[in-house]
Chains A and B, each alone.
Chain A
Amino acid sequence: MKTRANRIWFAALYLTLSLGTVEAQSSITVSAITGPLETALINGGTFLLGQTAVGDTASILLRVRNLSSAPVDITRYVALGAGFTLVARNVPFTIAGNASYDAILYFTPTAAASYSANLQINTFATQLLASGIGPPDLTILPTCNTSDPHTILFGNVQKGQTRTCNFTLRNPGTTPMNIPAFFITGSEFINPQPLATPFTLAVGQTISFSIQFKTATVGVKSATLSIQSQTFTLTATSFDAPLPTPVLDFSGTLTGGPATIASGQQVYVAMRLPSPAPFTSTGVLTMTLIPDSSLVTDDRAVVFLGTGLTSVPFSVQQGSTAVLLSGQIALGFQTGTTSGRIRFTLSQIASGFVSDPTVDLVIPRAPVELDLTQTGRTSGFLFVKLTGFDNTYSTGPLSFAFYNASGSLLQTVPADFSKEFQAYYQGTLTGSLFNASLQFNVNNAADAVASVEVTLTNSAGTTHSGRIPF
């Protein structure tokens, strides 16, 4: 009995020693934690990390538990294999009795392939298996495009309108692809037929989906599309609808009568929309003179009367067709004394107009307009003073017909002052107004002359002053 007992003791001793060695290994356990899920790793076994998209990084928490009450020295803690990175304390370190130690294992595939690593913790070893898979191919169909691989442009979209972008998503790999995430953040971009996740794309499978953009406010809008582990920025610019092209009316005058579109006039311009304004807006109405004559570039009498300027603000309220100019229903302006076109342009409406709002008001060429004729005489001289304008800047040929008291023609004196007028007008900015003073040496015949009729010719015709008495 004693011998047997001794043998048992020796056996027990052996077992004790042997158990001591086993305890050194089995007093730790290793598990992988992913979220709430903890999976025990088996010594000598394998552990599947699953699929990770190329370029993405997957991670798991490795937890080493010391099951004994005695401390355990960790002298080796490695994960050997391409694509795997272990972030753990440098060995050696000690895990206290009944304590645990956490480290993080990262897997970053660089190609669509199978990967493996050997995880070793002291004498505990297990093989880690993972695979890198290519991301699904996202194709953006025409009407939308990209500025970079991760930004999808919906373009400029009128406020309240819907812009739909169509896409396809394909699994380019050789294994089925799990799509755990597929969603949009941002209320102005929606997927009208959302896909339930997770779902799997079979090898080579393509699915189609669309995203619609719509907003009630103007500005740059964005959202994020998440597919698997990839994110894409969705962006669109919302703008107001274009204004209906305004109609300009030039029929009014200061005294309420019908307007004559000609030089030397004050005309009232009114503006209205052919349909109600879709939004309240303000802009600027500008008039620019385009002279017929190459002698001049501008006529600074062409201004709005209320401001003395060539530009005035306009405003229209949402739902209204009436456009106010400087706060008024109509605004007067001067047509100047230069033939050509007065171009009315509208600006500072961000959304623009339905069609080109430019209006050209033609100021026709006209014969010389005389505003004042004066005469005088001294001994031996007759004087004629003419005040007027020539909107063609082409006058010069003048003719003076002198009459006696009985109305008989005494003499006609032609004269050509074309050079003088051209020199006078060259480069002027104040229109074609002129004051012409003429002196006639008539020796002793001044008293015989009772009146004069002046004829002025320009490229538009001839003007007769009528008989002007001396």
Chain B
Amino acid sequence: MLDRSGIVRPVHGMSGNLMLGDATSTDVLSSGCGPEFCLLKTDQQLLVMQTGATPTLVRSPFPTGPAIFAFRDHTAWIYYPQDGTLTRFSDNATTNLSAPNLTGEVLSLRVTTNALEFAVRRDGTVWIERQDGALVDSLPDADGPVLLLENAILYTSSDLVRLKRTGANTIDFPVPQVQRINTLGPRYAQITTADHVYALKLDSGKGTLSQLPEPTSITRTVRRR
């Protein structure tokens, strides 16, 4: 979990019963978690964190600023909005990929069976496009952060967070003032607002929204399991 002050903490428990662990990293601009590991981007560094372990530095040159992550199994794709470059991360090493041919502000990234897909805001509309610019979908009512998931899209529209699943009805959650949406592991998305941080459980039919407790000193005693 990446809080508003750039501190990353592990989250224990399950929907409706969440506990925060000790801070593992600070000054983090972006974070994302796949099934095997999490990636953290500070202004100058990229860190990889296996489940339950401390973050380690990925020793490669990276663009400064935030990053956008996508995960599948043991591999992650990293897009750097600062310069529009794209890399792949696996086996603790990065490989530079050809930059996507996109116009607009890249908001999110996902890996499908066939290709990388990007959420791009252009001319006031969010478009879902492939790396070569081929159009996949659009979100005309999206007006804030967007998170592309494997079989769904999570985005904000007015004071709602909308979970748009492939082949299913869109589910709305009343969450105003959303500032950021990012992954919180393979089963949860983190929704950060001006006042609170929420965890949205994604694998249940209708989605379950829980508020994360604010971090306090008592979380330091949470037993690792």
Contacts and interface: CB of A to CB of B under 8 A. Distances in A.
A266 interface: yes
A334 B218 contact: no
B174 A301 contact: no
Given A255-B174, A266-B210, A308-B215, A429 B221 contact: yes
User: Which of B16, B18, B174, B215 gathers the greatest number of chain A CB atoms within 10 Å?
Assistant: B16
Interface in A229-264: 254-256, 263-264
Contacts of B212: 305
Given A308-B216, A309-B218, A430-B223, A301 B211 contact: no
B17 A256 contact: no
Interface in B1-33: 12-20
Contacts of A266: 16, 210-211
A433 interface: yes
B221 A300 contact: yes
Contact of B17 (A255, A301, A332): A301
B223 A431 contact: no
Contact of A264 (B17, B221, B222): B17
A307 interface: yes
Contact of B174 (A256, A336, A435): A256
B18 A334 contact: yes
A387 interface: yes
A264 B18 CA distance: 9
Contact of B16 (A265, A387, A428): A265
Contacts of B218: 300, 303, 308-309
Contacts of B91: none
A306 B214 contact: yes
A387 B203 CA distance: 14
Nearest to B19: A301
B131 interface: no
Interface residues of B, number: 28
Contacts of A307: 213-214, 216
A84 interface: no
Contacts of B211: 254, 266, 305, 332
Contacts of B17: 263-264, 301, 334-337, 389, 431, 433
Nearest to B213: A308
B225 A435 contact: yes
A429 B223 contact: yes
Contacts of B213: 303-305, 307-308, 334
A371 interface: yes
A174 B167 CA distance: 110
B177 interface: no
Contacts of A254: 209-211
Contacts of A388: 14
B117 to A, nearest CB: 27
Q: Which secondary structure characterizes the binding site on chain A?
A: loop
Given A306-B214, A308-B218, A334-B213, A371 B225 contact: no
A255 B212 CA distance: 14
Interface string B183-225: 0000100000000100000010000011111111011011101
Contacts of A306: 196, 214
B225 A300 contact: no
Contacts of B14: 264, 371-372, 387-389, 433
Interface in A279-333: 300-301, 303-309, 332
A437 to B, nearest CB: 12
A84 to B, nearest CB: 77
Given A264-B16, A332-B211, A309 B225 contact: no
A265 B161 CA distance: 21
User: Which of B14, B203, B212, B219 gathers the greatest number of chain A CB atoms within 10 Å?
Assistant: B14
Contacts of B203: 372
A264 B19 CA distance: 12
Contacts of B196: 305-306
B122 to A, nearest CB: 33
Contacts of B174: 255-256
Contact of B13 (A304, A308, A429, A431): A431
Interface in A383-436: 387-389, 428-431, 433, 435
Nearest to B198: A254
B16 A334 contact: yes
Given A431-B13, A433-B225, A435-B225, A305 B19 contact: no
B102 to A, nearest CB: 35
B88 to A, nearest CB: 26
User: Which of A304, A332, A430 gathers the greatest number of chain B CB atoms within 10 Å?
Assistant: A430
B205 to A, nearest CB: 14
Contacts of A264: 14-17
A335 B17 CA distance: 7
Contact of B19 (A304, A309, A332, A430): A430
Contacts of B19: 300-301, 430
Nearest to A428: B223
A429 B218 CA distance: 11
Q: Nearest 3 A-B pairs (CB), nearest first?
A: A308-B216, A308-B213, A308-B214
7 contacts: A266-B210, A305-B213, A308-B213, A334-B17, A428-B223, A430-B13, A433-B17
Given A264-B15, A431-B17, 12 more contacts: A264-B14, A300-B222, A301-B13, A301-B17, A305-B211, A305-B212, A306-B214, A309-B218, A371-B15, A372-B14, A430-B223, A433-B12
